Amino acid sequence: MGPSKNAESRKGDLPQLPPGQRLQRGWPVTHYGPVPRFRPDRWEFRVFGSTADGDKHCWTHDEFSALPYSTVVADLHCVTKYSMLGAEWGGVSARTILELAPPAPEVTHVMVWAEYGFSSNLRLSDFTSEQSIFATHKDGEPLTAEHGFPVRLVVPHLYAWKGPKWVRGVEYMTADRRGFWEERGYHNIGDPWREQRYTYQERPGEGPEI
């Protein structure tokens, strides 16, 4: 299953919020752990796991920054119940990464890895959404360190924890595996329109056993 709602959820000029969300002015800083120090000479973006050619694909920061630049206008829904609407995210589309480093045919999920070993799992169908983007900019300005510089994943149709800050790579998987928050009580899918916040809400088939 792909996106459930986003732009089509709006009527006229009046935005609709997912259930239980409140409109946020500005962009609060929320994350677990310290803000990592960016070292451009040591930074690389990796795609590994079940790739189509069996190889690991890597980009330095300069190489990643030179990839085709895309923008999407999309909302950000945080599980802490705020929603930020209509932001412009700029960066590298997830589809660009998939084209440059294709997954093997049997891949069903991805694990997005970030600094300090943080991880978040996604269904491949969510990752391949045309709005999923490895953002380097918001509203035309580079991300700040607190908001994920140099790269954060944005998957607008899911809760924001599914898009980690400080991303360092993507692992292609042939079976689902829970990420950091999913192992600690958060819903395996994270659809804000269904209020999929916590593990106890999961239905059969929505996630691997803990």
Helix (H) or strand (E) holding 124: helix 124-127
210 or 62, which is more confident: 62
Per-residue confidence at 25, pLDDT binned at 50, 70, 90?
A: confident
Domain 41-175 in this protein, CATH class: alpha beta
Is the pLDDT at 153 greater than 90? The verdict is yes
The proportion of the chain whose per-residue pLDDT surpasses 90, expressed as a percent, equals 86
15 or 79, which is more confident: 79
Is the pLDDT at 110 greater than 80? The verdict is yes
Per-residue confidence at 5, pLDDT binned at 50, 70, 90?
A: very low
Q: How far apart are CA 176 and CA 207, in angstroms?
A: 7
Is the pLDDT at 2 greater than 50? The verdict is no
Which structure tokens are listed for 156?
Answer: 């607008």
Is the separation of the CB atoms in 182 and 197 below 8 Å? no
Q: pLDDT value at position 94? A: 98
DSSP code at position 145: G
Is the pLDDT at 64 greater than 90? The verdict is yes
Per-residue confidence at 146, pLDDT binned at 50, 70, 90?
A: very high
Where are the chain's structural domains?
Answer: 41-175
One-letter amino acid of 197:
R
Residues 179-200, mean pLDDT to the nearest whole number: 97
Listed in sequence order, the DSSP H helices in 22-123 are: 61-65, 94-100
Per-residue confidence at 31, pLDDT binned at 50, 70, 90?
A: low
Residues 172-192, mean pLDDT to the nearest whole number: 97
Is the pLDDT at 60 greater than 70? The verdict is yes
Which residues, other chains included, contact 94 with Cβ-Cβ below 8 Å and sequence gap of 6+?
127, 128, 129, 132, 133, 134, 153
Which residues, other chains included, contact 47 with Cβ-Cβ below 8 Å and sequence gap of 6+?
56, 57, 58, 97, 100, 101, 169, 170, 171, 172
Which structure tokens are listed for 100?
Answer: 């440059």
One-letter amino acid of 131:
Q
Dihedral angle sign, alpha carbons of residues 158, 178, 124, 46: positive
Collapsing DSSP to helix, strand or coil, 152 comes out as strand
Collapsing DSSP to helix, strand or coil, 48 comes out as strand
Q: pLDDT value at position 13? A: 53
Mean of per-residue pLDDT scores for the chain: 92
